Amino acid sequence: MAGEPVTVVGSYISPYVRKVLVCLDLKGVAYQIDPIVPFFGNEQFSALNPVRRIPVLIDGDVTLSDSTVICEYLEERCPNPSLYPSSPEDRGRARWLEEFADTRIGEVLIWQLFNERIIRRFVWGEETDEARVRNALEVEIPQVLDYLERELDPAGAPFYGSLGIADIAVAAFFRNAAFAGFEVDPQRWPLTANFVARTLDCESFRKLRPFEELSLKTPIAKQREALMEAGAPISPSTLGASTPRRGVLGT
């Protein structure tokens, strides 16, 4: 990993890709990115990841899928600085919070909100299911935020003393929530609102913002070229395709 940059396959807009890119930056690992939009992978992409989901990490002869698997690999290959707590108890809890983020938070902020307001329109040309969005805003998202509010440190510290995998995984999804027009109410959930603002203001998150915002406002077919012109570390080749297709899991 000390030689050529690793390659990350996946869009800057994806919270799962964002999690991996932040971990790479914090660990000082050089990378290049093939910024394919979800659903736009070609047959080679299918061969690398049969469920057709991002991110994919390519490190020499090693190819890995799933953001959690990738981050654990990075932690083992580049242990300093560590992004996982030192004790088994805290490591286990941090992994649970990462899993909660990737599954439950992802379900409500990505598939019930961001997918409905952004992906369905711009990828599939479909109308937003307003009833599903309303249920997310009124029922599902408040349940998630109530849980986070109980788990966060009242003093405002990161989950386990310093910025780590639990903080990165949870906060990454709230960037997409903002893209879809949702912000945490600081009156109702003050600890969570502070946590999200503080974590997303870390340098490793901030440096991704220009590329995220450019991706959002650029037509999919032109994103790779636009990102390259903006100075993003774009890979020399792509696994992207010109037309979308759903993954084998239906998403």
User: Could you report the per-residue pLDDT of 107-155, keeping only the tens digit for each?
Assistant: 999 999 999 998 888 777 788 899 999 999 999 999 999 999 999 999 8
235-250: average pLDDT: 79
**Could you give the CA distance from residue 87 to residue 211 in angstroms, rounded to a whole number?**
36
Burial class (CB in 10 A: 0-12, 13-18, 19+), 103: exposed
Question: Which of 55, 45, 61 has its CA nearest to residue 23?
Answer: 55
User: Could you report the per-residue pLDDT of 9-49, keeping only the tens digit for each?
Assistant: 999 999 999 999 999 999 999 999 999 987 888 899 999 99
**Could you give the CA distance from residue 13 to residue 212 in angstroms, rounded to a whole number?**
5
Question: Which residue's structure tokens are 């935020």?
Answer: 145
Type of residue numbered 131 = A
Domains in the chain (CATH in brackets) are 88-204 (1.20.1050.10)
Q: Between helices 165-179 and 190-200, what is the axis angle to 10°?
A: 100
211-231: average pLDDT: 96
Query: What are φ and ψ of residue 7, in 5° steps?
Result: -110, 130
Between strands 31-34 and 6-9, the pairing is parallel
Tokens linked to 20: 């991996």
Q: Report helix, strand or coil for 43.
A: helix
